[in-house]
Structure 1
C-alpha cells in the first residue's frame, strides 16, 4: 500500500511538472470523466475558494499600499466591489499620493471657512439647466449610465422608510450638478445673488471638498481635489466647434462655460464701486486672503462716475446711463455735488482681479462671489493711460510695515510664515512706473518714478525685481521695494540692440527675455545686461509674449543636445497674426560647436561666452506653430500645396495678436479681431473660439485653472467660468 501511495504522489508531481497547456487539457479530460453531481460539487467548492477577499484579509495599511499602485479609474471601479473596499479606496493617503505624483503636482489652495461659504453660494446661486448627457463621460454611477441627479426624487410619506441612496461612483464625490444648454453672456448677465435652492435629502448627497474635522482651517479632501482638477482640465481641453459660444442654441454632447460680462453698471448693481468707462488695457488674476474697505480717493472721479444722466447731459462713452444710487454703501450724490456720504463697508475674499485702463486708474474686482464688483480704486499716480501692470507678494521690511499692523503675519492669511504684503506695479503712456499697496494702501501710489522717456509698454517682475520695456527701445531693471534702477539695457544696433520698440519683456532669476517690433526674440543676462541669445521669430513685428520660467512636462520640449536643460517656454504673438512657441535651452559650457545646428550657432552669442567661461550658454529652439481650421468664405489653396489655406495660413486670428497667457495645458490669445481663442499647448491646435464677448479690439487676456478673463476697447470684462457646478474652494 505504501508503494502504491508513493506511486500516486510520484504521478502527481509528474503531472504538476507538465506545461500549462498540457495540464489544462488533462484537467478538462478529468472533468468530463466525472459524474454530473461530482462536477456540480466541485464547481461549488471552486466558487467558494475564488470568492475569498484577499485584500479584505490583509491589514488596512498593506491593502492601502497595494491600492496606491492603481490609477484613478481603477480605484473608482474598485469602490463598487464592497463597502470595505469602498472605504479603502476613499482613503486620503491614496489620493494625496495621486495629487503629489501628478504632472504638474496638484497642490490645494489655502482656504478659510469664509471661502467655503462663498463657494457654496456660487454653487447654489441661479437655476441650473439640464446637463448635456455626455459631459464628463467618465463620470457614471454603478447603477446605469444615466446620472442619478436627473432621476425624479421619491415622494416621502409619513411613516415610510427613508429611501436608500443609490450606489455612486465619481458623481458622489464631486459637486457636479446637472448642466447643459449654452450659457452665453446674454443669459448670464450679472444679477443679485439668488437664494440657495433646497436639495432633496433622498438623493445621494455629494461629499464636500473638505473633511469633517474640528480644525481652525478646513482640511482638504484630496479625492475631491484630484477629481475636480481632472474635470476642469477635461472641460478646458475639450475641442468645440468654431464660434459655438456665440450661438444661443444647444448642441448635444458639448459642455460650455458660463460667461459673465462685467461693466461699470454691473459693478454698482452688485453693490460695488463703478467700473471702468474707458478702454481696459491690462488684467491680472491672483489669489490672496485679505480684507478691503470699499473706498475711493478721488472724490471728483467718484461724483463723475456715479452722477445720474440729467435730461441736458449726454450719456457716457458707451451710451449707457450710469445709476446715481450705490446699493449697500449709503452714498448720495447731489445735483451740484454738494454732499457725499459714504458708510465704509469691509469685504473679504480670496479671488481678485486687478484691471488697468485708459482712465488712468487701477480697479480691484472681487470675483469669487456670485456678483463680481469693484471694491477699490487706485488713482493719482499716472497722467496717461495705464498700459500694463502686475501683482506680486514681497517680504515686509520694518520701515514699510503699515501702522497698526503686526509684521508677524498678514491679516486674513490662513498660514503662518514670513510676513508678506501684496503690491501692484503699473506702467503707463506717461513713462512712469508706480508702486501700489493693494491691501493696506489708501488708493494712492507709494512710489512714483520717471522710468522711461516714452510709453512703458510692458512690466513684469518677481519678489525682488521689476523689468520694464518701452517705445524708447530700452529695458530697465528696478528693485521692487525701492524702485531703484539696477540695470539699463540700451545697446546700439551694432552690439545686438533692438531695432524697434520693445513690446514685451519677462524675467527669471538668471535672465531677461524681450520681444520687439523688429521681429526678434532676445535673451539678456540679468547681472550685466549682456546678450546671450537671439532669434528672428516672426515675419513681422512681435506684439506680445508670455513666458513660463520652468521645466514643465506639458511644454512639449524634447532634448536634442546631451546635457541641455529647458529653462523656459516662450509663446509669442505677432502682427502677422501667427502664434509660435520657443524653448529657452541652457547647453553645457563645454558643448562642442559641432554638436550645435547651424540655427543654434546663429542664436548663440559666442563672443560673450568667450569673454566669460562661467557665463551660461543659451539657445532658442523653435517649437510648435499654432494652427486652426480655415474659416475663409473661399479658401485659397494650390493643388500641390500642403500648407493649407494661402489666404489665412490657418493661423486662427485674422488680425494682430495683442495678448497671450500660458496655462498648464492651454494657451490663451486675444486679438484685434475681437475674438479670444484657446489652444492646446502640446500640438498648437485650436480648442475653442470665443466670439461676441467684445464689440471691438481685445487688449488683454489672462486666466487660471477655473476661468478665462479678457478686456478690450469696449471697456467690458468678459469672465468665462469653467467651474460652474463644481466646488473649487481648494483650487
Structure 2
C-alpha cells in the first residue's frame, strides 16, 4: 500500500528552516507555510502533499532518539515522515502486472495500435493498452531492470487479457489464500483468456522475455498441437495423413504382403484407395484365399475350363488348331469363383436370402430348381454322374446315358439279362487329353483327337459284373448346341457270384463287388482276374466301401466289417444298428452307414467307435453319399425324402420331400446339385447353382 504525508489542514502548520535542514528541526517559532495552503486531490485516494512540501528527514538523528515517532517512507520520494502523519489510501483497481511506471491504464477492446489486421483475443474479451509515460526516467520495468522509454509504437503498445474476476481472500488466513492460488491456476478452470500471438520481433525489440500471467492462462484443450491427458498415446486415424507404404512398395512385394490377409481384411482393402483396390483385385490373391478354404471342401477341376469343354474341342477341330497344338488354359477369375462358392455354401445351408431376422415374414430360404428326367420303363436302381452326363441302371435291364445340361438321353446300353442294380465309372474321362484315342484306334478317322475313352463297371441281378469301355465325342446338334455322343463296348464279364450283385466300387487298381451270396470279391482292374474273396457275413452284403487297401462291408445281418485286401484278413467288426444295414459310404477314415432301423451312424474306421447317430428318417435309409472335405452328407430313404446333413454337428440342414412319389433307391451329389433315382422310374435333379456363373469348375 502506498502512503502519503497528512497535512494538518490549517494555517498553523510548522515551518522548517532551510538553513537547519539536515540538522534536525528548527527551534524557531512555527509560521504558516504558503506551500501547505494548496492541497492536491487524486481519484486514487485521499488528499496528499507533493513531495517538495515534505521536510527532509535526518535518519542518523532519528536513531539517536528513541522517543522520536516511527517514520514512514513516502511513496516515490526520498523522504520520510512520522507514521502518525500518514494515511493508507484504498487499493487501486489495477491489472495483474506491474503498473507503477505507467500513466494511463485503458481497458478497451478497440484501442489497439496494431490495427484491424491484428486478431483479437476473442469477440468479447477486453484488452489492456499500456503506453509508457513520456518523460519517465524509469521506462518499462522488466524483472529488476528498467528499460528506457521510447515513443509509443506497435512494439511498446501491448495488449493483455483482463484478470479473472476471482474473489480475493486477502483478509482470510493462509489456507484460503492457498485455495485461491490453486483455484486460479487450475487447468480445469473455464473462461480463461490466452495472450494473442505476439510476434517474436516485438519481444526482440523490447529485449525482454515477455510478461506472461501464467495464472490466467487457459487450460490445454487439445487444439493447436497441444497434447492433453493420454492424447499423446493415441492416434485419431481420421486425422492421420501419412505415407502409403504399401503403395510405394514394388507391386510384387505389396502383393506378397497382402497375401497374408484373410477375406474380411481383403474386402476392407478394396475401400482404402485406388491403389489398394487395384492390388486387392489381383487374381493371385483371390486364388490364395480360395486355396485356404480347401479344408471346407473348396476345390476346382481345371480340366473343366473352357478350353477343354466339348464345345471348345469341337471349335478347335473346325478351325484346324490341332496342327498348332492345344491352346494354353487361361487363368480362371478366382475372385468370381470365391464369391460363387460362398453363395453356394449359403444355399446348401438353407440361410435366408430375402429379408432379415427382424423381417421374418419376408424371409425366405433358397429353393433349388427341380428337374425330372423320364425314360426308363421300370424302377431306376442306381446312378452316377459327372459334370456333363448322368448314367443310370434300371430294372428294365438297360443302362442309359443322359445329358446333364439338357436332360436328353444320349445312349442306351444292353448287356445284362437281369436288373442293373449298381454301376460305377471314371468321372469326366472325356476332359482328360490323356484319354484321347490314337489314329489307329479310330481307324484313321479325322476326328480321332475328339474321342475320349473311359471305364465303367455294372452289376446285375443276373450275378454278373460287366466291364465296359465307354467312349464320348463332342457333337453339334441340329439346333446349334454342342453335346456329346456316347457309345460303349463290353470288354469282359466277371463271373464269381452265385446271386445278384448288389453293389460295386472301383479305383485305379481294384474292382470290389458284393452279392446276396454274402461274399465280397476283389478283382484286378487291369487283368480282370479275381484277387481274393472275403466271407464272414451271415446275410446278403448290401453295400461295400473302398478306401486304399481297406474294404468296408454292410450286411443285412446288422453287422459291418472292415477288411484288408493285402492280407485278406478281417480287421474289425462294427455293431450298433438294431436292424439290417442297407447302405454304406467309406471315405478317408470315416464310415457312414444307413439301416432299416431308420438311423444313420458315423464311425471311425481306425478305432471302430460310433462317433455320431443321426435320426430323422421315418423308414429304411436306402442310400447315402457324403463329402468328407465339406462334411456334407445326403441321404435317401423309403420315406420318399432326401435330407442334407452336417456331419460335423449332426444337424439336418435341408429336407426335400417333393422329389419322388415312391421309394428312393439311390442318391448322389456334387458341389452344385443332388441327383436321385426312385421306384417311380424318375431321375430327379436339384440344382443349387441356378443363376451362378463358373460353377462347372467346382469339383
TM-score by length of 1: 0.55
The alpha carbon displacement at 1:468 in A equals: 0.6
Give the Cα–Cα distance (whole angstroms) in 2 for the partners of residues 532 and 50 of structure 1. 69
What is the match of residue 300 of structure 2?
108
Unaligned runs of 5+ in 2: 1-186, 189-216, 313-325, 354-360, 473-485
Match of 1:656 among 620, 644, 667: 620
What is the match of residue 224 of structure 1?
336
Match of 1:478 among 518, 523, 537: 523
What is the match of residue 66 of structure 1?
257
- Is contact 2:220–2:226 with CA below 8 Å preserved after alignment? no
Match of 2:512 among 443, 463, 467: 467
Match of 2:594 among 558, 565, 573: 573
For residues 325-336 of structure 1, the aligned pairs below 5 Å read none
Give the Cα–Cα distance (whole angstroms) in 1 for the partners of residues 644 and 616 of structure 2. 10
For residues 700-715 of structure 1, the aligned pairs below 5 Å read 700-715=666-681
How many pairs does the alignment contain? 437
Give the Cα–Cα distance (whole angstroms) in 2 for the partners of residues 502 and 91 of structure 1. 53
Higher strand share: 2
What is the match of residue 258 of structure 1?
369
What is the match of residue 640 of structure 1?
none
What is the match of residue 502 of structure 1?
541
Match of 1:729 among 690, 693, 696: 696
Question: Are 2:551 and 1:512 aligned?
Answer: yes
Give the Cα–Cα distance (whole angstroms) in 2 for the partners of residues 223 and 67 of structure 1. 15
Match of 2:389 among 319, 330, 352: 352
Give the Cα–Cα distance (whole angstroms) in 1 for the partners of residues 279 and 436 of structure 2. 50
Given the superposition, is the C-alpha separation of residues 406 and 64 from structure 1 closer, same or farther in structure 2, using an over 3 Å criterion?
Answer: farther
Give the Cα–Cα distance (whole angstroms) in 1 for the partners of residues 444 and 564 of structure 2. 38
- Is contact 1:282–1:388 with CA below 8 Å preserved after alignment? yes
- Is contact 1:286–1:391 with CA below 8 Å preserved after alignment? no
Given the superposition, is the C-alpha separation of residues 700 and 397 from structure 1 closer, same or farther in structure 2, using an over 3 Å criterion?
Answer: closer
For residues 84-95 of structure 1, the aligned pairs below 5 Å read 84-95=275-286
Structure 1 stretch 253-262 or stretch 443-452: which is displaced more?
Answer: 443-452
Give the Cα–Cα distance (whole angstroms) in 2 for the partners of residues 402 and 513 of structure 1. 41
Q: Please state whether the residue corresponding to 2:498 is helix, strand or coil.
A: coil
Given the superposition, is the C-alpha separation of residues 406 and 674 from structure 1 closer, same or farther in structure 2, using an over 3 Å criterion?
Answer: farther
Q: Please state whether the residue corresponding to 2:692 is helix, strand or coil.
A: coil
Given the superposition, is the C-alpha separation of residues 510 and 374 from structure 1 closer, same or farther in structure 2, using an over 3 Å criterion?
Answer: same
- Is contact 1:661–1:702 with CA below 8 Å preserved after alignment? yes
Give the Cα–Cα distance (whole angstroms) in 2 for the partners of residues 431 and 97 of structure 1. 50
The alpha carbon displacement at 1:412 in A equals: 5.0
For residues 9-20 of structure 1, the aligned pairs below 5 Å read none
Given the superposition, is the C-alpha separation of residues 543 and 45 from structure 1 closer, same or farther in structure 2, using an over 3 Å criterion?
Answer: closer
- Is contact 1:581–1:622 with CA below 8 Å preserved after alignment? yes
Given the superposition, is the C-alpha separation of residues 580 and 98 from structure 1 closer, same or farther in structure 2, using an over 3 Å criterion?
Answer: same
- Is contact 2:259–2:285 with CA below 8 Å preserved after alignment? yes
Question: Are 2:658 and 1:692 aligned?
Answer: yes
The alpha carbon displacement at 1:360 in A equals: 0.8
Q: Please state whether the residue corresponding to 2:490 is helix, strand or coil.
A: coil
- Is contact 1:661–1:668 with CA below 8 Å preserved after alignment? yes
TM-score by length of 2: 0.57
- Is contact 1:521–1:537 with CA below 8 Å preserved after alignment? no
The alpha carbon displacement at 1:519 in A equals: 1.2
What is the match of residue 489 of structure 1?
534
Given the superposition, is the C-alpha separation of residues 499 and 233 from structure 1 closer, same or farther in structure 2, using an over 3 Å criterion?
Answer: same
Match of 2:419 among 377, 381, 385: 385
Superimposed CA distance per residue, residues 673-696 of structure 1 (whole angstroms, 9 cap, x where no aligned partner): 111111111111111110122111
The alpha carbon displacement at 1:32 in A equals: 4.6
Give the Cα–Cα distance (whole angstroms) in 2 for the partners of residues 488 and 388 of structure 1. 19
For residues 502-651 of structure 1, the aligned pairs below 5 Å read 502-548=541-587, 550=588, 568-585=589-606, 619-626=607-614, 651=615
Superimposed CA distance per residue, residues 446-498 of structure 1 (whole angstroms, 9 cap, x where no aligned partner): 212323100101000101110011110111011223321111123xxxxxx11
The alpha carbon displacement at 1:46 in A equals: 9.1
Give the Cα–Cα distance (whole angstroms) in 1 for the partners of residues 512 and 245 of structure 2. 61
Given the superposition, is the C-alpha separation of residues 533 and 52 from structure 1 closer, same or farther in structure 2, using an over 3 Å criterion?
Answer: same
Match of 2:220 among 33, 39, 51: 33
Give the Cα–Cα distance (whole angstroms) in 1 for the partners of residues 580 and 438 of structure 2. 41
What is the match of residue 678 of structure 1?
644
Superimposed CA distance per residue, residues 296-322 of structure 1 (whole angstroms, 9 cap, x where no aligned partner): xxxxxxxxxxxxxxxxxxxxxxxxxxx
The alpha carbon displacement at 1:547 in A equals: 1.3
Runs (4+) of structure 1 exceeding 4 A deviation are 34-40, 42-49, 114-119, 393-402, 409-413
Q: Please state whether the residue corresponding to 2:342 is helix, strand or coil.
A: helix
| More contact order relative to length (CA 8 Å, sep ≥ 6) | 1
Superimposed CA distance per residue, residues 65-117 of structure 1 (whole angstroms, 9 cap, x where no aligned partner): 22222211221122122221111111122122222332336443223437779
- Is contact 1:425–1:436 with CA below 8 Å preserved after alignment? yes
What is the match of residue 307 of structure 1?
none
The alpha carbon displacement at 1:280 in A equals: 0.5
What is the match of residue 97 of structure 1?
288
The alpha carbon displacement at 1:442 in A equals: 4.1
Question: Are 2:398 and 1:361 aligned?
Answer: yes
Given the superposition, is the C-alpha separation of residues 94 and 576 from structure 1 closer, same or farther in structure 2, using an over 3 Å criterion?
Answer: same
What is the match of residue 374 of structure 1?
409
What is the match of residue 433 of structure 1?
465
Superimposed CA distance per residue, residues 507-558 of structure 1 (whole angstroms, 9 cap, x where no aligned partner): 222211111111111111102321111111301111101111x2xxxxxxxx
- Is contact 1:390–1:424 with CA below 8 Å preserved after alignment? yes
What is the match of residue 376 of structure 2?
276
Question: Are 2:500 and 1:455 aligned?
Answer: yes
Greater Rg over alpha carbons, structure = 2
- Is contact 1:239–1:687 with CA below 8 Å preserved after alignment? no
Given the superposition, is the C-alpha separation of residues 54 and 428 from structure 1 closer, same or farther in structure 2, using an over 3 Å criterion?
Answer: same
The alpha carbon displacement at 1:225 in A equals: 2.0
- Is contact 2:470–2:489 with CA below 8 Å preserved after alignment? no
Q: Please state whether the residue corresponding to 2:246 is helix, strand or coil.
A: helix
